[in-house]
Amino acid sequence: MQLSNGTFNDSMVSRYIIVSAKLLLPALRAVAENNKGHKARVVSTTSFATEFVFKADYEAYRDGPTRRKAGVVTLYYQSKFLNLVYATEFARRFENEGIVSSCVNPGGISYPPAPRNLTTDLQRTLKGFKRWLIFRILHPAPYSALTQLYAATSEDADDHNGAYFVPWARKQKLPPASQDPEIGKELWNWLEDQVKK
């Protein structure tokens, strides 16, 4: 697993630019306005990693000692946590405009391994017992679409602004830190600053 600054930018900053910083937002508003009874939807993707992170260290996303000390797994977990924070903050900011924001965990490797996870090429570097074990508890990759499709297309999902869905299309309680308005505001401000640079 490799998480570069580019990966974080792909995951967070580019999403903010496309969805929130005026590029996609007018289209989302138009859909909400012109489709009476249906809401526009933004579905973000996270992972089980959100269970291990409770704050963001923005210094870790700049090259330097903090980043090197954090390590790849910590950076990955933080990026997934921030995807969830983003989805929650987006839901807060646009809930009165007919736009629903939710976040999904499509399944994947979690450590310790948990049921309802997916087999993808991400596991290619595993060796020995870990490889043997992981491939016996994971599901085929096409299952990953189920939860995202539910969040994006189900009529029920209109009523779940700010929701967190896990495999297979089940609503789960959000980790408390992801709902903290101060953390959400801090992320939003940080993203705005990145766009200005």
CATH classification at residue 179: 3.40.50
SS3 category, 138 = strand
Predicted confidence at residue 49, as pLDDT, reads 78
Predicted confidence at residue 8, as pLDDT, reads 64
Pairwise CA distance, residues 95 & 160, whole Å: 10
Predicted confidence at residue 196, as pLDDT, reads 87
Predicted confidence at residue 162, as pLDDT, reads 97
Residue keyed to tokens 């330097």 = 64
Output the pTM of the full model.
0.82
- Spans in the chain with pLDDT lower than 50: 1-4, 109-116
Phi-psi region of 5 (alpha: psi -120 to 50; beta: other; left: phi over 0): alpha
Q: Express each pLDDT in 95-124 by its tens digit.
A: 999 999 999 998 864 334 444 455 555 566
Pairwise CA distance, residues 1 & 169, whole Å: 26
The residue range of the domain holding 112 is 5-196
Burial 172-187 (b: 16+ CB within 10 A, else e): eebbeebbbeebbebb
Checking DSSP bridges between strand 117-119 and strand 170-172, what pairing results, if any?
Answer: unpaired
Number of domain units in the chain: 1
